[in-house]
Amino acid sequence: MKHSFLNMLRAGLFFEVSILKNNKGLLFTLLARPYLVLLMLYFLYQQLQAETSPKDLVLLSLTVTGSIDVLWDIAGRGIILRMHGILPYYTVVPEGLLLSLTITFLPKYLLENLLKTLVFLPLLVIYLDLLSALEYVAGVFFLLILGLLPLIGLSMLLAGLTLMAKEESPWLDWITPIILLASGAIYPLSVLPPWLQAISRLLPTTYIVEAADTLTQHLDTGGFFTSVIVAMMILSIGYNIVSASLAKRAEEKLLVRGI
Amino acid sequence: MYPVEVQGLKKTYITRKRVGLFKTVESRIEALKGVSFNVNEGEILGILGPNGAGKSTLVKILATLLLPDEGSAKILGYDVVKERGKVRKHIGISLSVEKGFFYKLTARENLKYFGMLYGLSGKKLEERVNEALKAVGLQNQAEKFYEEMSLGMKARLSIARALLLDPPVLILDEPTLGLDPVTSRRIRHLLVNLAHQKRKSILLTTHNLFEAELICDRVAIISEGRILAIDTIDELKKRVADTVFIEVRLPSMSGLQALNILKDFPSNEVKIYHRKGIAEKIVISVPVSQAEETMEKLLHEFRASRLKVRSISILEPSLEDVFVKLTGQRGV
């Protein structure tokens, strides 16, 4: 099993590197997009005379949306593979469809986000010294990995449900905004109603938002950052156990209908 | 133990259609109604049947892409439901000749990717990819992007992927569909070689009766979810040996006149099977005992109507005749 995981991860990395190698335009877009967003936010915040640095805002949005996008990306990938007639060939991987779909996606997530964060390094060096800039980028990348962990099982489950649904995309359209809202990524948690605040404590993304806030606004006092990470790790384990077993059932249902 | 053993396989698709805000109507389609057969080692078994006969359902179940409702199917003794992981390690599948790969990857990159997914790595991966490319004759086009490949190349690449793990069982859904005659011949040659030289068991579905007659060691004729007959082609032909076919070739533009004459023949004596163009070639099935008599009668009637006959001959039954007789359909 361990060996198969490694093979799937390797396959995913090979795929991503090949795709970027064969599509220089895609690579350019991937690297240029964070700067375009940064530029847009810079002008926006200049007009609003906001205090937050655009650099921190971009990195914040990168960590939060980057991790939530996993949900959409894996399920969306399932739909695309189905359209291209590739899905059956993922299904015949001995470990099954949803696991292979998810595991092979992880290198894409890590590689793309590593590139997206590294692209900021030259800019950060202007604001900070090289060592601090490297630390900052490493911190953001660490958060991106952390943000991914609790969502792996959930992504599998969502991909299964999406492939089972007759109309595929509505699943994907509403889930991300709800998570973003309930985790405090769009509005601060304090302005949300108490019941939504209670739910937000169960969402791992909430902790990612808090950890990203801590990192970008240098608020780490009294081990707050560590406690956020620990809470998220505990939630991750619970989430992955539950959602992976539900995903297994979803795959069985999917096989009853046929791939 | 047979490499492929199928026993009493049944599958019903249930679909629900919304007819109101809260009301749905359920419809059931019985795709397989108890299918049983085996595939021997080194054998090509062709599954022949019209559209909607249950061929694809059968292929999907054997490829572990669909769960049956009843019955069992085993690949090398492994159950396709309970031991899916083991089955998947012993089969190679090809479900479509025109898609199923990543457009922006080359043939080699696509194969390497799927090879890794299926558990190959390092030197073994390189070796298997090279062998698979060589087996299908794509070694010189290995660096071509999938989007740039012709349909024939895509079909061969699909078989190459099925060969990656060097599996003892191949499951191929219409491997030559839409291909030109030269490429089809090449693929047929490849499949025969794989079965007879490499001793692989191949189950393939096809619409192409000519192809089935050329390469299949045995053929299963399936219609409406049931196997109507399964045997070697020679044995199947013997089943329609009570009937012979008279082929009449006529000058062009005289087909309609000939059909008018044939209208007066008693229907139990003459059955027109197919007409080419405007019936310049007419094939008639008659009981063996009445073949000579019917031929003379036909010639007499045509002469009386001053209709020229280019040739008239008695034909041995073909696989198509077997198919038509068993399924009651004029073409697949």
Give chain B positions within 8 Å (CB) of A94. Answer: 84-86, 88-89, 118-119
Percentage of the residues of chain B whose pLDDT score is greater than 90: 55
Mean pLDDT lowest among B12-26, B29-43, B204-218: B12-26
Here the tokens at position A196 are 């939504």
> pLDDT tens digits, residue range A38-94?
777 677 667 766 666 656 666 666 666 666 678 778 888 888 999 999 999 999 998
A18–B117 C-beta distance less than 8 A: no
Q: According to the model, what pLDDT value does residue B247 have?
A: 82
Total residue count of chain B as it appears in this document? 332
What single letter denotes the amino acid at residue B332? V
Q: Is the pLDDT of residue A109 over 70?
A: yes
Give chain A positions within 8 Å (CB) of B121. Answer: 7, 10
CATH number corresponding to B4-238: 3.40.50.300
Mean pLDDT lowest among A38-47, A200-209, B159-168: A38-47
Nearest chain B residue to A103, by CA? B117
In a 3-state reduction of DSSP, which class is residue A110? helix
Q: According to the model, what pLDDT value does residue B100 have?
A: 94
ipTM of the complex: 0.84
B226: left (phi over 0), alpha (psi -120 to 50) or beta: beta
| B113–A contact, CB cutoff 8 A | yes
A84–B102 C-beta distance less than 8 A: yes
Percentage of the residues of chain B whose pLDDT score is greater than 70: 93
| B109–A contact, CB cutoff 8 A | yes
Cα–Cα distance between B219 and B203 in angstroms, integer?
Answer: 10
Range of the domain at A102: 2-257
Q: According to the model, what pLDDT value does residue A45 have?
A: 67
B105–A22 C-beta distance less than 8 A: yes
Rg (CA), chain B: 24
Q: According to the model, what pLDDT value does residue B14 have?
A: 87
Mean pLDDT lowest among A165-169, B135-139, B168-172: A165-169
Sheet holding B226-231, edge to edge: B91-94, B169-173, B201-206, B44-48, B218-223, B226-231
CB atoms within 10 A of CB B65: 25
Cα–Cα distance between B32 and B71 in angstroms, integer?
Answer: 10
| B114–A contact, CB cutoff 8 A | yes
Q: Which of A16, A89, A97 is best to mutate for the B interface (most B CBs within 10 A)?
A: A89
Measured CA to CA in angstroms, residue A174 lies from A71, A98, A200, A250 at distances of: 11, 21, 17, 20
Q: Is the dihedral of CA A52, A55, A58, A61 positive or negative?
A: negative
> pLDDT tens digits, residue range A120-135?
888 778 877 888 888 8
Q: Which residue has the higher pLDDT, B312 or B131?
A: B131
Contacts 24+ apart (CB under 8 A), B175-182: B175/B94, B175/B97, B175/B204, B175/B206, B176/B97, B176/B206, B176/B208, B176/B211, B177/B97, B177/B207, B178/B97, B178/B98, B178/B151, B179/B97, B179/B151, B179/B152, B179/B155, B180/B152, B182/B152
Q: According to the model, what pLDDT value does residue A39 have?
A: 75
pLDDT tier, B159 (very low <50, low <70, confident <90, very high otherwise): very high
Nearest chain B residue to A257, by CA? B66
Cα–Cα distance between B278 and B119 in angstroms, integer?
Answer: 57
Here the tokens at position B284 are 């008639």
What single letter denotes the amino acid at residue A227? S
Q: Which residue has the higher pLDDT, A86 or B309?
A: A86
Q: Which of B117, B144, B151, B172 is best to mutate for the A interface (most A CBs within 10 A)?
A: B117
Cα–Cα distance between B324 and B332 in angstroms, integer?
Answer: 9
Q: How far is A21 from chain B (nearest CA, A)?
A: 10
Which among A15, A252, A255 has CB closest to B113?
A: A15
| B8–A contact, CB cutoff 8 A | no
Start-to-end Cα distance in chain A: 23
In a 3-state reduction of DSSP, which class is residue B263? helix
Token pair 């579905």 is found at: B205
Q: How far is B236 from chain A (nearest CA, A)?
A: 33
Here the tokens at position A153 are 């099982």
Q: Is the pLDDT of residue B222 over 80?
A: yes
B16 within 8 A of B25, measured Cβ to Cβ: yes
A85–B99 C-beta distance less than 8 A: yes
Alpha helices in chain A (DSSP H): 2-22, 24-48, 54-83, 87-91, 97-103, 106-118, 121-127, 130-148, 151-164, 169-182, 194-200, 204-217, 224-257
Nearest chain B residue to A256, by CA? B67
Structural domain tally of chain A? 1
Nearest chain B residue to A100, by CA? B117
Token pair 């999406």 is found at: A162
A94–B89 C-beta distance less than 8 A: yes
CATH architecture for the domain at B242-315: 2-Layer Sandwich (3.30)
Mean pLDDT of chain B: 87
| B116–A contact, CB cutoff 8 A | yes
> pLDDT tens digits, residue range B99-143?
999 999 999 999 999 999 999 999 999 999 999 999 999 999 999
Residues 83-102 of B with CB under 8 A from A: 84-86, 88-89, 91, 93, 95-96, 99-102
B101–A252 C-beta distance less than 8 A: no
Give every CB contact of residue B284 below 8 A, 6+ residues apart in sequence: B245, B246, B247, B248, B262, B270, B271, B272, B273, B294, B298
Residues 74-93 of A with CB under 8 A from B: 84-86, 88-93
Residues 90-119 of A with CB under 8 A from B: 90-96, 100, 104
Mean pLDDT of chain A: 81
pLDDT tier, B240 (very low <50, low <70, confident <90, very high otherwise): confident
| A3–B contact, CB cutoff 8 A | yes
Buried b (16+ CB within 10 A) or exposed e, B168-194: bbbbbbbbbbebeeebbebbbebbbeb
Q: Is the pLDDT of residue A99 over 50?
A: yes
Q: Which of A14, A20, A92, A251 is best to mutate for the B interface (most B CBs within 10 A)?
A: A92
Q: Is the dihedral of CA B319, B325, B327, B330 positive or negative?
A: positive
Residue (of B151, B117, B115) closest to B132 by Cα position: B115
Between A and B, how many residue pairs show a Cβ–Cβ distance under 8 A? 97
**Stretch B234-260: mean pLDDT, rounded?**
78
Cα–Cα distance between A206 and B212 in angstroms, integer?
Answer: 61
Residues 237-256 of A with CB under 8 A from B: 252, 255-256
Q: According to the model, what pLDDT value does residue B332 have?
A: 41
Residue B87 half-sphere exposure, CB side, CA atoms within 13 Å?
Answer: 25
Q: How far is B254 from chain A (nearest CA, A)?
A: 48
Domain residue ranges in chain B: 4-238, 242-315
| Residue B243, φ and ψ in degrees, nearest 5 | -120, 140
Sheet holding B78-79, edge to edge: B24-39, B4-18, B70-75, B78-79
Give chain A positions within 8 Å (CB) of B57. Answer: 258
Residue (of A191, A228, A226) closest to A206 by Cα position: A228
Q: According to the model, what pLDDT value does residue A223 have?
A: 72
Burial label for B303, CB within 10 Å (0-12, 13-18, 19+), is: exposed
B207 within 8 A of B332, measured Cβ to Cβ: yes
B91–A7 C-beta distance less than 8 A: no
pLDDT tier, A200 (very low <50, low <70, confident <90, very high otherwise): confident
Cα–Cα distance between A253 and A164 in angstroms, integer?
Answer: 8
> pLDDT tens digits, residue range B68-97?
999 999 999 999 999 999 999 999 999 988
Total residue count of chain A as it appears in this document? 259
Q: According to the model, what pLDDT value does residue B95 have?
A: 94
Burial label for B226, CB within 10 Å (0-12, 13-18, 19+), is: middle
B104–A104 C-beta distance less than 8 A: no
A7–B121 C-beta distance less than 8 A: yes
Q: According to the model, what pLDDT value does residue B287 have?
A: 77
Cα–Cα distance between B50 and B206 in angstroms, integer?
Answer: 9
Q: According to the model, what pLDDT value does residue B330 have?
A: 46
Q: According to the model, what pLDDT value does residue B331 have?
A: 43
B88–A94 C-beta distance less than 8 A: yes
Nearest chain A residue to B120, by CA? A7
**Stretch A12-34: mean pLDDT, rounded?**
90
pLDDT tier, B169 (very low <50, low <70, confident <90, very high otherwise): very high
**Stretch A166-186: mean pLDDT, rounded?**
71
